[in-house]
């Protein structure tokens, strides 16, 4: 039997928790490999912590700086001596066979650390990072310092530098792979899609309409960050339009973000703070999924930005697994999944009238049931983590010497 691989998994934020980092690490651990997760440490947690999905190796606090300055010094810059030291130390202690780095911010640091240890490096591109930074500028929420530390032009240059120096690239959706190929980088690495799917064990035993205690009234749920590019503003305006036309619906918003207070103000201004829209803030993952289980329509209203036309959100598949019909903006990756699965309806990105028209159709419980059951079947048969795990493990094990 071949010996297990030792994998240094680099994540640029605090851990726990991130759903994809946990899923990827656990999949590799369950396949018999050893995972060390290098993570930020703004909370000054233990430097080393064993967890079921792997052992966390956190950056060591510089307590003499104080918490605020120390947190700033942990910023995952494209090249950071502090992060390089942490990654190199973990490679040495673990005797790592390869490095798996999540997204672009620490890719250059991970590449240099891996090359100096003469081991391969894989990047897990969960999002189009340059486009995500551009979103911050376009929506006016970027801070002045972001011109230096979160500059989309600089990120594009770094991305073109990093891609040919990777041994493999994991993307979350084929549209992301197509974007990378379109960049025209001379030596594009081999690419494999490992999507943001849930396990088959999460598939609902029966559809949400039958489980819901709230009768025939549409009850909506939105999971995720509260930022303008994610399109929640159009949903709030759509609810006001529907209520004015006699169609009452309620919405649970589960998540937080830099614009949470702005959306709360919009809801108040639209007179939706009467129990129509409820903001629950960030919740533990299992609690968030309970909100999904208690709803009967799931929302993915993202705007058609450069980021969202080349990535796909976890919540799309979470809704489908729970038997919820999906109401989503018409952007290529989501359009393809919903067209293939027949699990939801599409609306024009950013259009309250379009959102309202689609939601009005879902007053019909039989349509909700039909779409929800199609989503369950699609997750059970195709869009599931078991299939994506096979792809992930095959990529990693291809580097076994």
Q: What is the pLDDT along the chain (401 residues), one digit of tens a residue?
A: 578 999 999 999 999 989 999 999 999 999 999 999 999 999 999 999 999 999 999 999 999 999 999 999 999 989 899 999 999 999 999 999 999 999 999 999 999 999 999 999 999 999 999 999 988 787 766 555 555 567 899 999 999 999 999 999 999 999 999 999 999 898 889 999 999 999 999 887 655 555 544 456 899 999 999 999 999 999 999 999 999 999 999 999 999 998 999 999 999 999 998 999 999 999 998 999 999 999 999 999 999 998 889 999 999 999 999 999 999 999 999 999 999 999 999 999 999 999 999 999 999 999 999 999 999 999 999 999 999 999 999 999 999 97
Q: pTM, whole model, 2 decimals? A: 0.92
Note the pLDDT of residue 187: 86
Inter-residue long-range contacts of 134-141, CB under 8 Å, 24+ positions, other chains counted: 134/305, 134/306, 134/307, 135/227, 135/228, 135/229, 135/305, 135/306, 135/307, 138/229, 138/305, 139/227, 139/228, 139/229, 141/227, 141/228, 141/258, 141/259
Q: Which domains does the chain have, with CATH numbers?
A: 6-197+385-397 (3.40.50.2000), 200-381 (3.40.50.2000)
> What's the pLDDT at 138?
79
CA separation for the pair 263, 141 (Å, rounded): 14
pLDDT of residue 213: 44
Phi, psi of 55 (to 5 degrees): -95, 125
Q: What pLDDT, on the 0 to 100 scale, is given for residue 264?
A: 96
Q: H/E/C letters for each residue in 60-93?
A: CCCHHHCHHHHHHHCCCCCCCHHHHHHHHHHHHH
- What pLDDT does residue 214 have? 44
Contacts of 130 (CB under 8 A, 6+ apart): 104, 152, 153, 155, 156, 159, 306
């Amino acid at each position: 039997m071949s010996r297990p691989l030792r994998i240094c998994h680099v994540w640029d934020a605090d851990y726990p928790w991130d759903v994809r980092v946990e899923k990827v690490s656990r999949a590799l651990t369950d396949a018999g490999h050893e995972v060390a997760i290098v993570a930020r440490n703004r909370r000054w947690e233990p430097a080393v912590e064993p967890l079921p999905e792997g052992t966390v190796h956190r950056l060591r606090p510089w307590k003499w700086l104080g918490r605020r300055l120390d947190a700033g010094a942990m910023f995952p810059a494209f090249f950071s001596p502090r992060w390089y030291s942490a990654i190199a130390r973990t490679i040495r202690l673990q005797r790592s066979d390869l490095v798996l780095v999540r997204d672009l911010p620490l890719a250059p640091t991970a590449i240099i650390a891996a090359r100096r240890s003469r081991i391969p490096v894989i990047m897990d591109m969960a999002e189009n990072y340059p486009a995500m930074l551009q979103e911050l500028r376009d929506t006016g929420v970027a801070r002045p310092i972001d011109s230096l530390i979160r500059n989309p032009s600089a990120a594009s240059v770094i991305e073109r530098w990093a891609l040919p120096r990777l041994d493999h690239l994991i993307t979350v959706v084929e549209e992301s792979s197509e974007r990378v190929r379109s960049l025209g980088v001379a030596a594009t690495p081999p690419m494999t899609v490992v999507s943001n799917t849930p396990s088959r064990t999460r598939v609902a035993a029966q559809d949400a309409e039958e489980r819901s205690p709230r009768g025939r009234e549409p009850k909506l749920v939105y999971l995720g960050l509260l930022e303008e590019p994610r399109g929640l503003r159009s949903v709030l305006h759509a609810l006001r339009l529907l209520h004015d036309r006699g169609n009452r619906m309620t919405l649970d918003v589960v998540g937080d973000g830099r614009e949470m207070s702005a959306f709360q103000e919009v809801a108040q201004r639209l007179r939706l703070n009467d129990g129509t829209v409820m903001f629950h803030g960030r919740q533990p993952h299992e609690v968030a999924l309970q909100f999904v289980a208690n709803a009967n329509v799931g929302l993915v209203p993202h705007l058609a930005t450069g980021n969202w036309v080349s990535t796909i959100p976890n919540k799309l598949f979470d809704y489908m697994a729970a038997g919820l019909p999906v109401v989503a903006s018409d952007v290529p990756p989501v359009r393809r999944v919903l067209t293939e699965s027949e699990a939801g309806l599409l609306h024009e990105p950013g259009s309250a009238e379009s959102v309202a028209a689609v939601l009005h159709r879902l007053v019909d419980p039989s349509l909700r049931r039909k779409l929800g059951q199609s989503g369950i079947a699609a997750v059970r048969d195709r869009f599931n983590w078991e299939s994506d795990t096979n792809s992930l493990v095959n990529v990693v094990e291809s580097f076994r010497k």
